Amino acid sequence: MADVHDVAAAVLDGTGPESPMKLQKLLYYAQAWYLAEHGEPLFDARIEAWRRGPVVPDVYYRHQGQSEICAWEEGDPHRLTDRERAVVGSVVERYAHFSRHELSDMAHDEEPWRAARGELAESEPSSAPLSHEVMARYFRRLTSGGEEAIAEAVGSARLEGLDVPDDVVATMRAVAAGELTADEAIAREIEALRR
């Protein structure tokens, strides 16, 4: 398992100088995608569900007060394995063009941050950890094929004690096949509820 400081150094090696907030979000995405792709954490440092999105406190308290981070002296990107470097590189390629605020908004919309915060308002502080299991499941679904994603969604609902009706599964299949847009599917379900 990599050291979070080596991962931070690798991120900055790929992006160049970044804001602390953006570095935090890129660390979150690196952890999430590594969990999704390899079924184990990239690093063992805790990620918490802070107001402005996922934050790694071990890294935060070392850059606190800085407006820009040019390099991460505490880490060495060369200590990462090829597999670890590949995921970090993929995350940098996929997310580095977003601003720190866009990344924060994206993380706020995703299940791992929302699940960790539970019923807390966005303005409330929290040190609740993001679940590795939720991150892995959520990000794995983003790359799943249609049937696999539907099976995972139905399985997750059953774990929560919910039953997914056959007509809802049929609607999900229609969306996955491109026969319906997500908006059309939602409109269809709302109309069914009104009956």
- Looking at this protein, which amino acid is placed at residue 15? T
For residue 26, count other CB atoms closer than 10 A to its CB: 27
pLDDT in tens, 40-87: 999 999 999 999 999 999 999 999 999 999 999 999 999 999 999 999
Count of all residues that appear for the chain in the document: 195
**With b meaning 16 or more CB within 10 Å and e meaning fewer, what string describes 138-153?**
bbbbeebeeeebbeeb
pLDDT at 56: 98
Query: With bands split at pLDDT 50, 70 and 90, how would you rate the model's confidence at 184?
Result: confident
Report the percentage of the chain scoring pLDDT > 70: 99
Compute the average pLDDT of residues 167-189.
83
What are the extents of the domains in the chain?
4-139, 144-194
pLDDT at 157: 79
**Which helix or strand (DSSP H or E) is residue 49 part of?**
strand 48-50
For residue 157, count other CB atoms closer than 10 A to its CB: 13
pLDDT in tens, 131-173: 999 999 999 888 766 787 778 778 877 877 888 888 888 888 8
Pairing relation of β-strands 53-55 and 48-50?
A: antiparallel
Positions of E strands within 56-113:
none
> Higher-confidence residue: 140 or 6?
6
pLDDT at 144: 65
pLDDT at 29: 98
pTM reported for the whole predicted model:
0.77
> Higher-confidence residue: 144 or 195?
195
Compute the average pLDDT of residues 161-188.
84
